[in-house]
Amino acid sequence: VVVVEVVVGMIVVVVVVAAAAAVVVVVIVVVVVVVVEVVVQAAAEVGSPANSSVGEVVFSANSGAKSKPKNSPLPKGNYS
C-alpha cells in the first residue's frame, strides 16, 4: 500500500511539473511574440534602413509561424 501511494505521489508530482513547464513555455512564447511585434512595428515606424531590414527579416520569419490577419502587410501608420 505504501509503495502504491509513493508511485501515485510521484505521478502527481510529474504531472504537476509538466503542466507548470507547459504554462511557462506558453508564457515565454507569448512574450516573445509580443516583443517581436513591438520591434517590427517600431522598425516600420522609424523607417531607417537598418531597422526596417531587421524588422522585415523578423516579420517574414514570424508571419510564417502565425496565421493572424495582423501579419498581413499594412500601410505604415495603420497599426491598431
**Rounded CA separation 58/53 (Å):** 9
**Entry pTM:** 0.43
Say how far apart CA 12 and CA 14 lie, in whole Å.
5
Q: Break the chain into its structural domains and give their ranges.
A: 2-71
pLDDT in tens, the chain (80 residues): 778 899 999 999 999 999 999 999 999 999 999 999 988 888 777 765 554 455 555 555 555 554 445 545 555 554 54
* Contact criterion met (CB below 8 Å) for 70 and 62: no
